[in-house]
Amino acid sequence: MPEIKGKNILITGGAGFIGSNFIFHMLSKYKKYKIVCIDKLTYAGKLETLEPIMKNPNFKFIKADIADRPAMQKVFKTTKPDIVVNFAAESHVDRSIDTPDIFIQTNVNGTQVLLDCCLEKNIRFHQISTDEVYGDLPLDKPEMMFTETTPLHASSPYSASKAGADLLVLAYHRTYKLPVTISRCSNNYGPYHFPEKLIPLMITNALADKPLPVYGTGKNVRDWLYVVDHCKAVDLIIHKGTIGEVYNIGGHNEKSNLEVVKIILKALGKPESLITYVADRKGHDLRYAIDPTKITRELGWTPETKFEDGIAKTIQWFVDNRNWWAGTDSNHRTLA
């Protein structure tokens, strides 16, 4: 199984939630790696997140849009990466329902631009994807889980754009022999999570004694993956993963949305009367469940963080870092 030949890593979307955590992980673990971060700095990309490493001699930040071909060609020419890890994406389902064109532009067109730039020098490419490309599973069949061979069956413009990008990545491998890998993860949570998604929204609303909006009955189920565990999995894939393969990364932490909300309220000592049920999301997926057997068998990865421990760490981080999330955009927030 091929390893990274050089030590120059280009990480797109690195000012976002998962991308920033991955950069912290890599800089901490690999003292000789050079990391270049590309980010457009949209509403969900915060340069403040990267402030602790901005003076690190092994780190460089470049503001750019992955869908801007001339800009990306310049970045590749000047940084000469050995591998590209693509975290950059529009990722909010509710926003994709309102403005799907933005998701196609970044998630599909942007991925193609990166693939073309990699193709010019045969640069290794890793695509960060999502379990949402598989669609959803029934609530009454807990034994059913997504595997890497599960057919793609996207429900929202967001998941459709990610599925399209995945197929494009695999097509570049088959057609042009570009060295690629893909990982599809379940729902991440942890520090630096932008407060439009379920867990950070519920925490920040609860801290402010605001209503906690829950879609429908709150019975929709998600598999939760602590972001640090995800970063360790991607680290393994880019070093040891088999070229041309897809790896599912799951947390073995399935919980209903309502269950997660109640756990957060209990931890913060807030009343359940803050829960407010609202009309359900259009095309709302019922259940996600990832089977990570392949990555465990081939690369030895398993999730290390129990949900009870991870959510406690996450809640405490938001309590301790109010300045980071206070005043963030309240529009289009994800409900439970």
What are the catalytic residues? 131-132, 158
In this structure, are residues 303 and 295 in contact, taking their beta carbons and an 8 Å threshold? no
Letter string b/e over residues 181-205, b meaning 16 or more CB atoms within 10 A of that residue's CB: bbbbbbbbbbbbbbbbbbbbbbbbb
CB-count exposure of residue 141 (10 Å: 0-12, 13-18, 19+): exposed
For residue 210, count other CB atoms closer than 10 A to its CB: 14
- Is 97 in contact with 91 (CB distance < 8 Å)? no
Handedness of CA 148, 39, 193, 287 (dihedral sign): negative
Q: What distance lies between CA 23 and its chain's CA centroid?
A: 13
Integer Cα distance of 232 and 225 in angstroms:
12
Contact assessment for residue 52 and residue 76, using Cβ atoms and an 8 Å cutoff: no
Query: Which residues partner with 185 through β-bridges?
Result: 130, 249
Query: Are the beta carbons of 117 and 125 closer than 8 angstroms?
Result: no
Q: Is 38 helix (H, G, I), strand (E, B) or coil?
A: strand
- What's the CA gap between 54 and 41, in Å, rounded? 15
Distance separating alpha carbons of residues 187 and 166, to the nearest angstrom: 18
Give the list of residues 6+ apart from residue 297 with CB closer than 8 angstroms, or none.
Answer: none
